[in-house]
Chain A
Amino acid sequence: MKTPGLSVQLAPDNRRGLLLANPVMTASGTFGYGAEYAEVMDIQKLGAIICKGTTLKPRTGNPQPRLVETAGGVLNSIGMENIGIEALVREKAPVWAGWNVPVIVNILGESAEDYAALARRLDGVAGVSGIEVNISCPNVDAGGIEFGSSPEAAAAVTAAARANTTLPLIVKLSPNVTDITSIARAVIEAGADAVSLINTLKGMAIDLVSRRPVMGNVSGGLSGPAIKPVALHMVYQVAKAVKIPVIGCGGIATAGDALEFIMTGASAIQVGTATFSNPHAPLDVLQGIEDFMKKEGVSQLAELIGAAA
Chain B
Amino acid sequence: MKRIDATIVSSEELWDGAFFLWVRAPEIATVARAGQYVMVRCGEGCDMPLRRPLSIHRVSRDGSIAFLFAVVGRGTEWLAQRSKGDSLDLFGPLGRGFEVLPASGNLLLIAGGMGIAPLVALADQAVESDRSVTLLIGYRTASQIYPQSLLPSGIETVVATEDGSLGTKGMVTDLLPEYIADTDQVFACGPLPMYKKMAEMTDITNGKPVQVLLETVLGCGVGACLGCTIETLNGNRRVCKDGPVFELKEVVWDKIIAPAASGGIDNANLV
A residues near B (Cβ < 8 Å) are 29-32, 36-37, 39-40, 52, 60-61, 63-76, 78, 81, 205-210, 212, 214, 216, 224-225, 253, 273-280
Q: Are B225 and A225 in contact (CB under 8 A)?
A: no
Collect the chain B residues with CB atoms within 8 Å of residue A207's CB.
260-263
Given contacts A36-B241, A64-B216, A65-B216, 20 further A-B contacts (CB under 8 A): A29-B226, A30-B220, A30-B224, A31-B224, A32-B220, A32-B223, A32-B224, A32-B225, A40-B3, A63-B255, A63-B257, A67-B219, A67-B227, A78-B229, A207-B261, A225-B46, A253-B46, A276-B51, A276-B220, A277-B46
Q: Cα distance A36–B224 when bound, in Å?
A: 6
**A to B CB contacts below 8 Å, 6 in the list:** A64-B217, A68-B264, A78-B229, A214-B263, A224-B49, A277-B48
B residues near A (Cβ < 8 Å) are 1, 3, 41, 46-51, 91, 216-231, 235-236, 241, 255-257, 259-265, 267-268, 270
Collect the chain A residues with CB atoms within 8 Å of residue B255's CB.
63
Closest to A72 in B: B46
Which of B91, B216, B226 is in CB contact (< 8 Å) with A81? B226
Q: Cα distance A64–B230 when bound, in Å?
A: 8
Q: Cα distance A139–B205 when bound, in Å?
A: 49
Q: Are A206 and B227 in contact (CB under 8 A)?
A: no
Q: Are B236 and A60 in contact (CB under 8 A)?
A: yes
Collect the chain B residues with CB atoms within 8 Å of residue A274's CB.
46, 49
Q: Are A66 and B222 in contact (CB under 8 A)?
A: no
Q: Cα distance A207–B267 when bound, in Å?
A: 8
Q: Are A275 and B220 in contact (CB under 8 A)?
A: yes
Closest to B1 in A: A39
Q: Are A66 and B224 in contact (CB under 8 A)?
A: no
Q: Are B260 and A65 in contact (CB under 8 A)?
A: yes
Known contacts: A30-B224, A209-B260. The answer to whether A225 contacts B217 by CB under 8 A is no
Which of A40, A61, A65 is in CB contact (< 8 Å) with B259? A65
Collect the chain B residues with CB atoms within 8 Å of residue A76's CB.
219, 225, 227
Q: Cα distance A67–B268 when bound, in Å?
A: 18
Closest to B43 in A: A277
Q: Are B261 and A30 in contact (CB under 8 A)?
A: no
Q: Cα distance A37–B220 when bound, in Å?
A: 10
CB distance from B215 to the nearest CB of A (A): 11
Q: Are B48 and A69 in contact (CB under 8 A)?
A: yes
Collect the chain A residues with CB atoms within 8 Å of residue B219's CB.
67, 74, 76, 276
Q: Are A81 and B263 in contact (CB under 8 A)?
A: no
Collect the chain A residues with CB atoms within 8 Å of residue B225's CB.
29-30, 32, 67, 76, 78, 276
Which of A63, A70, A210, A225 is in CB contact (< 8 Å) with B261? A210
CB distance from A54 to the nearest CB of B (A): 12
Q: Cα distance A274–B225 when bound, in Å?
A: 12
Name which of B48, B224, B229 has the most chain A CB atoms within 10 A of its CB.
B224
List 4 tightest A-B contacts by C-beta distance, closest first.
A32-B224, A214-B263, A207-B260, A67-B227
Closest to B46 in A: A225
CB distance from B50 to the nearest CB of A (A): 5
Closest to A208 in B: B262
Collect the chain A residues with CB atoms within 8 Å of residue B270's CB.
208
CB distance from A215 to the nearest CB of B (A): 9
Which of B217, B226, B230, B241 is in CB contact (< 8 Å) with A68? B217
Q: Are B236 and A64 in contact (CB under 8 A)?
A: no
Q: Cα distance A253–B48 when bound, in Å?
A: 12
Which of A61, A75, A225, A278 is in CB contact (< 8 Å) with B264? A75
